[in-house]
Structure 1
Amino acid sequence: MTLTPGQYLKKRREAAGLSIDDVAERIATTPRWAQHLRRGWLEQIESDQMPATFRTIVVLHQVMQFDLGVLVALTADGCEAPRLCVVCACSEDDPCVGHSEPCGWVDVELCSACFAHEPADRIAIIRSAAAAREAAA
C-alpha cells in the first residue's frame, strides 16, 4: 500500500488511539500556539497540504510511534514503497505493540493484530487490499 507522508502519520496516530486533539495537546510550539491552531496545523500535515519539517517530525515522534525509515521512504523519489498494513500502517520494522508478541503478516497488506481486532471487517479489509493491489498493477 502506498501512502503519502501525511496519510501515514494519520494512520499511525489513529492506530495509537490518539485523536488529533490528543496530539495537539501534547506538543509544544515556539512561540506557543493555541490548541485549535496546533490542531489545524496537524490537519494540514496529515492532509499533505503542508510538509512536516524535521523539527515537527521529531516532536511528533516523541508523542506517537511511527517508523522514521518509512516516512523517509514515502517522501523520497525513487524509493520502493514500504510494506504497510492497510488498516494501521505498521511495517516490518515498526510492528504493532501491546500484544503478546509483535504482529506478523496474514495477507500482503494486513497485519495479524488488525486481522484479530477487526473481525467484523476482515473480509472487507482483505477485499479492499486485493482491489488496491489489482489497481496498482
Structure 2
Amino acid sequence: MIKPLPPSVFPAPMSPGTYLRKRREAAGVSLELAAVAFLPWVHGNGWANKLSTPPGSSPDGPRLVRLVLQVAVWLAELEDDKRFVDGIALAQVAGVIPFEREAYDRLVALRYGVDLPPPAICRECGCGVLTACFAEGHACAWSETDPHLCTACERKEAQAVAANVPETADAS
C-alpha cells in the first residue's frame, strides 16, 4: 500500500510560465525556435508591418531576424509570468511545445486566486497524463513515493544522487 505524503510536503503549484518553460525545455525547443513557429500568426496580426526596414537592407532578412527576436522576447515574458495568453496564441504555443492546455489554464486560475486543485503535472518536467515523458522505450508514470514526480524524473534524481555519493569501499 502506497502511503501519500502529508499535505505540508506537497509543493506549491508552479506558475503558468514555469510550466511552459519546463515543457519547452523538455521538448528541447529554444525560445528562438519556438518564435519561428509564430511567424505566420505574427505576420497575419500585423506585427511584421510594424517593423521598419533599415535603408539599404533587404526587407526580409534583418526584419525577419528582428521579428523572431521580438517574438522570443514575448515568449520569455510568458515564461516569466509577465503575461498570460489564451485562444489562438495559446494554440500556436501548443503547436510547438507539447503541453496540456487544461493544466496551463488551471495554473493561471490558481495564480488569480481561484480555489481549484492543482493540475496533475510533474514538478520537475511538467509532464502530465496527456504529455508523458518517453524514457527507455516506454511512457513514464507517477512515482510511488511522490505524487508530484514522474518516474522518468525520479530516475534522474536517483542517478544524480548516486553520482554524488562518494565511494566508501576500499578499492585495493
Check whether TM > 0.5: yes
Any runs of at least 4 consecutive aligned residues in structure 1 with deviations exceeding 3 A, and if so which? 121-124
TM-score of the superposed pair, with normalisation by structure 2: 0.64
Deviates more, 1:103-112 or 1:6-15: 103-112
Unaligned runs of 5+ in 1: 125-137
Maintained 8 Å contact 1:87/1:114: yes
Partner AA of 2:117 in structure 1: E
- Does 2:76 align with 1:43? yes
- Does 2:101 align with 1:90? no
Please give the alpha-carbon distance, in whole angstroms, between the structure 1 residues aligned to 2:155 and 2:147. 15
- Does 2:67 align with 1:34? yes
Structure 1 or 2, whichever has the larger Rg, is 2
Q: Which residue in 2 is equivalent to 1:120?
A: 160
Question: Residue 25 of structure 2: which of 14, 39, 57 is its match?
Answer: 14
Partner AA of 1:104 in structure 2: A
Please give the alpha-carbon distance, in whole angstroms, between the structure 2 residues aligned to 1:41 and 1:112. 33
Q: Which residue in 2 is equivalent to 1:132?
A: none
Please give the alpha-carbon distance, in whole angstroms, between the structure 2 residues aligned to 1:98 and 1:83. 19
After superposition, give the CA deviation of every residue in 1:54-86 in whole Å (9 maximum; x if it has no partner): 211000101110011111211222221012212
| Displacement of 1:110 | 1.6
Change (3 A) 1:18 1:85: same
Aligned residues: 124
Partner AA of 2:160 in structure 1: A
Unaligned runs of 5+ in 2: 1-10, 49-65, 165-172
Task: Report sequence identity in percent.
Answer: 28
Partner AA of 1:84 in structure 2: I
Maintained 8 Å contact 1:115/1:122: no
